[in-house]
Structure 1
Amino acid sequence: MTDAVAGTSGAVTRGSVVRVGAATALSALCGYAVLYLAARDLEPAGFSVFGVFWGAFGLVSGAAFGLLQETTREVRTASRVRPYPPRQRTHPIRVGAAVGLGAAVLIAATSPLWATHVFTRDRVLSIALLAAGLAGFCLHTTLLGALAGINRWSEYGALMVADAVLRVTLAAATFVLGWGLGGYLWATVAGSIAWLLMLFTSPPVRGAARLLTPGTTATFLRGAGHSIAAAGASAVLVMGFPVLLKVTSGGDLGAAGGVVILAVTLTRAPLLVPLTAMQGNLIAHFVDQRSHRIRALAVPAALIAGLGAVGIVAAGAVGPWLLREAFGAEYQADGALLAWFTAAAVAIALLTLTGAAAVAAALHRAYAAGWLSATVASTLLLLIPQDLEVRTVVALLCGPLMGIALHLAALAKAP
């Protein structure tokens, strides 16, 4: 196990999807619970501050999912190229640790340049938690990728759940004990040590952490670099959107910003949380279906579109009532706005799907180009002279379409 990658025979099964789906559902509930507790405990303006940190950590940790993607692809394909020269091997966990440490140092060193524009309260704590949390999360995602590559879906799901449970546990303690904003900042990054707990308690996880992949570390880092760049761009639109919204708004978002951040987060989570959690399943599936990649997209794309249509109707019909009843009278948004936010979530979900197919096909440049173009387009659209709600809908709905087109064009041309 320490010298080569364990065999990865067999396609992604329905059982594996069910196991990861169950873990995703539990993780999503925990995520909703953290948001619920923070929104109930903090006034909208305070929730806006928390939401920006939540988004900032989502942005940097989302970029770390590039390590998951590359590790999954490398481990998944390794069994097809064995044996390989003993000197051309890479230890993904060590690479993940090095990337995490470097990223933490970079955040701390550059914080004087950007922190005052992002964090308005608890700035030193926010920077420290962001750096330390990212370092841990790089190991977390690399380990997830190794588990996905060898079909250890039960352990994959357990690691996801451990992350989510740690977050909600600390958030609940903050709510009960009255620790305020600082407690919710700690809760946001608490799951970054889940990988360490799993190493101590699970022999299969320790085995996955020892896996090696073919090729040099430089080769692995080149592929991971493209994946990290694209995952970072995707994280700007997905988890890091509150940060982007604040930067393009040129000031404090206030209560209105808190409502928009919460509404966007709630309407996209039912689609994007499962898709993000199941990146390992998707990439493994597309690697197995590499001979007809476009056709392999049809079923998951149809499923996303169908679920999205149901979500759009539900958001318009009961969304305003649910938002008001669950989070308080201060959180007001009309049904049409919530329906548009849900439609925008469908667009980003489809972009996530086509991106996973591009990674599986080793189309790293096309993958990165698709997400970067979508992010740039959305950023520019956020600058149009319209109300905050209108700018948000236009940016999140139209920007991803450019990235989807680039991904599909690259997949259609790939050999």
Structure 2
Amino acid sequence: MVVVSRWQALRTRWAPVVVPLLRLVTGVGASALATYAYLILVARELGPEGYATFSAFWAAVVILGAGVYLPIEQETARRGVGTPDVTRPRRLGSTALVAALLVTAGLGVLLLGSWPALSGFFSDDVLLAAALVLGGLGYSAQFPVRGLLSTGRRYGRYASVLGTEALLRVLLVVALVVVADPGPAALAAVVGLAALGSALAGVTRTGVGLFADGGALHFLRSAGMLIAGAVALQTLLYSGVLVARALAPPGQAVLAGQLLAAVTVTRIPIFLFQSVESLVIPRIAELAFNGDTVALRQAVRRLVGVVAVLGTVAAVGSATLGPWLVELMFGPEFRVSRGAMTLLGVGTGIFMLAVAASDITVSLAGHAQMAGSWLAGLVAGGLSLWALDDLVLRITVPLIVGSCVAALLAATAARSRLLAAVAASH
């Protein structure tokens, strides 16, 4: 009876926390699997040359999603912690939504005004660029909702958003492949449609009682440094695809498509890391806000430990299983050398360490330091690009060099912020 009573007590205490977290991990896992299924279906439908065209869209939409709209989610989550004095109250959810829509409108104007210069990047396919704007609209709806769910610790609903997006991506791309002969633009439009549909899964009474100080422009100014750093971060992460697309000789036009397949495989640990990352900023911000220095240090140690393990998996897994996995998942036409896979894996591992350090810095309100770290890393990666002649090295080495610089600077900033938070609590 005593054992049963203790079990019931533990269940009552931890079930409200553990069950939603398990749902979140499940949602992130479903999203990762759906992303891989989506990319594999697209690659097998288009072949390496068509996939090279699609890679331009995919690199751009990931840079925008994780570089612009994810910071809006993170800023929404950060603002939802505590109850600060609000002199010009606006609903936090509405403010974040309008801010995201303003970004999307700016994207559309930018593409329209600079199309003569950018058309070659999109293989002169206007519809592919339109699919990028559609992706922005979908993310404008989805990421503010995710930020509100994160700050409210509604992890089950957060998971439903990710799971719905995952399901819609797979269903839509399968439907297109079955009933039509889709090109890159039609397959790219799936991203925006799935994001729009998934936002509906999380909007019910989300963000009730949460307010922001100022409107959308004030929100964007606050998130500006975060966005600048995140864009630099994602540009560095996808530098290999961008370089391959821009610098591959005409006879190697399919190289960008093959590289995107390799990048997708080496990014598997990053998808796993995202199940932790979505909890990091609001949790560390809350602990710092409450002055709980013991729990704050423990949270930071756990994060660094998880990332160290995943980084090792990325490096070792890419070196040993990478080429085989690329061909298994994408087909025999997608062949990448073991050396390139090893370099991509090492770069991914170092990159995750830098992301963990910058997440800690952002959690402690170090937006400018985070942005500076990644901008410096991007510059360092660019300098290494021009110092190399071999195409494979120019594709893979900038991520390693840039991530090392960003990791060093972000870790220094995170340590400084953490020590300041501990000192302020005493």
Same fold (TM over 0.5): yes
Alignment-derived partner of residue 282 in structure 1: 280
Three-state SS of the structure 1 residue aligned to 2:167 is: helix
CA offsets per residue over residues 297-325 of structure 1, 9 Å max, x none? 32222222223323433332232222223
Give 1:31 deviation, angstroms.
Answer: 0.4
Three-state SS of the structure 2 residue aligned to 1:90 is: strand
Alignment-derived partner of residue 399 in structure 1: 402
Alignment-derived partner of residue 37 in structure 2: 33
Residue among 139, 157, 162 paired with 1:155: 157
Alignment-derived partner of residue 273 in structure 1: 271
The alignment yields a C-alpha RMSD, in angstroms, of 2.6
Residues 149 and 280, structure 1, Cα contact 8 Å, conserved in 2:
no
Give me the whole-angstrom Cα distance separating, in 2, the residues matched to 1:239 and 1:15: 34
Residues 69 and 145, structure 1, Cα contact 8 Å, conserved in 2:
yes
Give 1:239 deviation, angstroms.
Answer: 5.4
Residues 20 and 278, structure 1, Cα contact 8 Å, conserved in 2:
no
Give 1:288 deviation, angstroms.
Answer: 3.5
* Greater shift in the superposed pair: 30-39 or 304-313: 304-313
Residue among 19, 27, 33 paired with 1:23: 27
Alignment-derived partner of residue 167 in structure 1: 169
Q: Residues 161 and 211 from structure 1, CA distance in 2 versus in 1: closer, same or farther, beyond 3 angstroms? A: farther
Stretches of structure 2 that go unaligned for 5 or more consecutive residues are 1-13, 421-426
Three-state SS of the structure 1 residue aligned to 2:204 is: helix
Give the AA of the match of 1:148: S
Give the AA of the match of 1:379: G
Three-state SS of the structure 2 residue aligned to 1:206 is: coil
Stretches of structure 1 that go unaligned for 5 or more consecutive residues are 1-9, 200-204
Residue among 135, 142, 148 paired with 2:137: 135
Residues 312 and 339, structure 1, Cα contact 8 Å, conserved in 2:
yes
Q: Residues 238 and 158 from structure 1, CA distance in 2 versus in 1: closer, same or farther, beyond 3 angstroms? A: farther
Q: Residues 209 and 296 from structure 1, CA distance in 2 versus in 1: closer, same or farther, beyond 3 angstroms? A: closer
Give 1:367 deviation, angstroms.
Answer: 1.4
* Pairing 1:379-394 to 2, within 5 Å after superposition: 379-394=382-397
Residue among 74, 81, 97 paired with 1:76: 81
Give the AA of the match of 2:98: A
CA offsets per residue over residues 65-98 of structure 1, 9 Å max, x none? 11111111111233xx4xx45x432323322332
Alignment-derived partner of residue 101 in structure 2: 101
Give me the whole-angstrom Cα distance separating, in 1, the residues matched to 2:251 and 2:120: 10
Residue among 355, 359, 364 paired with 2:362: 359
Alignment-derived partner of residue 301 in structure 2: 298
Structure of higher RCO (CA pairs closer than 8 Å, 6+ residues apart): 1
Q: Residues 221 and 322 from structure 1, CA distance in 2 versus in 1: closer, same or farther, beyond 3 angstroms? A: closer
* Pairing 1:249-268 to 2, within 5 Å after superposition: 254-268=253-267
Residues 57 and 189, structure 1, Cα contact 8 Å, conserved in 2:
no
Give me the whole-angstrom Cα distance separating, in 1, the residues matched to 2:18 and 2:346: 28
State how many pairs are aligned.
393
Give 1:395 deviation, angstroms.
Answer: 0.8
Three-state SS of the structure 2 residue aligned to 1:179 is: coil
> Could you say which structure has the larger radius of gyration?
2
Alignment-derived partner of residue 5 in structure 1: none
CA offsets per residue over residues 180-225 of structure 1, 9 Å max, x none? 32321112322220354225xxxxx322144423533365333222
CA offsets per residue over residues 232-275 of structure 1, 9 Å max, x none? 2222133575335434669796112221121012111x222233
Give me the whole-angstrom Cα distance separating, in 1, the residues matched to 2:91 and 2:243: 35
Give me the whole-angstrom Cα distance separating, in 2, the residues matched to 1:369 and 1:161: 34
Give 1:163 deviation, angstroms.
Answer: 1.7
Residues 361 and 414, structure 2, Cα contact 8 Å, conserved in 1:
yes
